[in-house]
């Protein structure tokens, strides 16, 4: 299983700098979460309007995609550390979407626990 992300943002949000610090494959490549064949991709977007979260599973590509939607007006007002903390917790919380796909057999609690560990090591959050 691969865990990857993409991001769609404007310069003002500071997301570019934050996402440049994320090296998920280094930390997660040797981890096992129940399903080794399905790839996970989340997209981080920062918008100034309310938008419904999109989540899609493609059997053909064996990939699960979803959006993490951050509130633009709130996010641009945060300090850099607040942005890191907010983004970390939004990413961790977003893995709850896996619960909607029980047939994919993901160990959601293990994934979330490892993301807490990952962001703690980056000093984005404290436990």
Euclidean distance between CA atoms 84 and 119, whole angstroms: 9
Instruction: Please write the tens of the pLDDT for every residue from 7-29.
Output: 877 788 888 889 888 988 888 88
Half-sphere exposure of 60 (CA within 13 A, CB side): 1
pTM listed for this prediction: 0.91
pLDDT: which is higher, 62 or 119: 119
């Amino acid at each position: 299983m691969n865990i990857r992300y993409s991001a769609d943002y404007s310069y003002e949000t500071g997301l570019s700098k934050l996402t440049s610090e994320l090296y998920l494959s280094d930390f997660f490549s040797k981890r096992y979460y129940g399903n080794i064949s399905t790839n996970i991709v989340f997209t981080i977007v920062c918008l100034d309007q309310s938008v419904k979260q999109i989540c899609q599973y493609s059997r053909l590509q064996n990939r699960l995609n979803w959006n993490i939607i951050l509130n633009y007006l709130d996010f641009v007002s945060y300090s850099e550390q607040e942005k890191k903390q907010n983004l970390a917790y939004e990413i961790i919380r977003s893995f709850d979407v896996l619960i909607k796909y029980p047939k994919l057999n993901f160990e959601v609690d293990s994934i979330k626990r490892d993301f807490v560990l990952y962001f703690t090591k980056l000093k984005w959050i404290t436990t």
